[in-house]
Amino acid sequence: MSRLPLILERQWLHALLLAILLAGLVAVSRVDGFLDGELWGVSTECWFWLAVALPVIHQVWVWFCWRTELHASLLSRSFGDAGFKLYAVGFSILGIARTVVVFILAFANRDTLEVDTTVTSILAVILLIPAVYLFNSVKRYFGFRRAFGIDHFEASYRTQPFVRQGIFRFTSNGMYIFGFLILWVPGLWFASVAALVAALFNHLYIWVHYFSTELPDIRRIYGESATAAGDGAGE
């Protein structure tokens, strides 16, 4: 039996929603003054589209590794125990890069948001607090290996209980709700319109990943009832 339909499950939804988001970004990017500024001789336009491309590459990487491992054990058969490490290294590099580029974009496009910067700076600090609490909760209670999605690779993780400590006391989707708040911080701190739009894209697009990739995987790994209890892995 072909594993391809399982690997591609709900990726039509991923492609459709991504196309809608990209169309919206193209329209917004044409507004006068939206892409003002540069950094290191590189235009804001280049930084902006790099800030868009990296999340797409990152989330396609996660989908490919998760699904091919879950349904075909591709990385484990090809690289043995190093399969998860290979995936995790790629995940980490792309995850860090997508965050760093939003900060660079914000600096290149700084002061394009015509509001009181004192207000935006205070808001940036406020948003940073739950984001930091989220990462602390992941480190202390959840574990980064599990956050990377090791349950797609190792069956022993599939019997572990769902975390209900730290920030996960309030929501099972802490990584998506609170973790991505950190991407709003640079746009607010530097009053950058382009960076705020990039943060919005990142925050919306991670939910595309959740509904098209992670949620179907949760149901297959933990059963239908697991979705009511919370997510067992996360990006």
pLDDT in tens, 23-41: 999 999 999 999 999 999 9
213 within 8 A of 63, measured Cβ to Cβ: yes
Smallest CA-to-CA distance from 172 within 119, 93, 115, 234 is with 234
| Residue 1 within a domain | no
- 84-214-9 Cα angle (round to 5): 100
**Is 120 contained in some domain?**
yes
CA distance 2 to 7: 10
Evaluate whether residue 32 is within a structural domain. Answer: no
Q: Is 17 inside a domain boundary?
A: no
118: in domain: yes
> What is the reported pTM?
0.90
**Residue 38 forms beta bridges with which residues?**
43
Within-domain flag for 28 = no
- Segment 70-128, tens digit of pLDDT: 999 999 999 998 999 999 999 999 999 999 999 999 999 999 998 988 999 999 999 99
Domain residues for the domain of 217 are 38-229
Q: How many domains is the chain partitioned into structurally? A: 1
